[in-house]
Amino acid sequence: MADDWRRDTVDLLRSLVLEAEPDAVEEVKWRKASNPDGVPTFSLDGLICTLETYRDKVKATFARGASLPDPSGVFNASLDAGTRRALDVHEGDAVDRDAFVELVRAAVAANRA
């Protein structure tokens, strides 16, 4: 992963996932030549979310996002997907930390239901 704003954004989102659910397990999956660092995934009683880096954004995809309450409107990508929802963070974007933490907690609650 490039050592720039994307790394900082992944680090921020990682810290928020772990703040919301300290028992969440992080694994790196899907390593390949075009993405040797792989994709950080977070699970607790099922998949919570993944953090993917692209040239122009960091994408936090929630596996069951379509079924999660999002009263703050954090999700801004994959809005037409049947199951998942995502947050695309571009350079300079502010992340609603409290709302993101609540989404993580709601995702874990959905996994446990």
Q: Where are the domains of the chain?
A: 5-112
- Per DSSP, what are the bridge partners of residue 29? 39
At 35, the pLDDT band (50, 70, 90 cuts) reads confident
At 33, the pLDDT band (50, 70, 90 cuts) reads confident
At 2, the pLDDT band (50, 70, 90 cuts) reads low
Fold of 5-112: Aspartate Aminotransferase, domain 1 (3.90.1150)
What size, in residues, is the chain?
A: 113
**Angle of CA points 69, 47, 109, to nearest 5°:** 40
Report the pLDDT averaged over residues 35-43: 90
What's the distance, Cα to Cα, between the start and end of the chain in Å?
35
Q: Is the pLDDT of residue 34 over 60?
A: yes
Is 23 strand, coil or helix? coil
At 1, the pLDDT band (50, 70, 90 cuts) reads low
Sign of CA dihedral 92, 28, 108, 66: positive
Note the pTM of the prediction, 2 decimals: 0.92
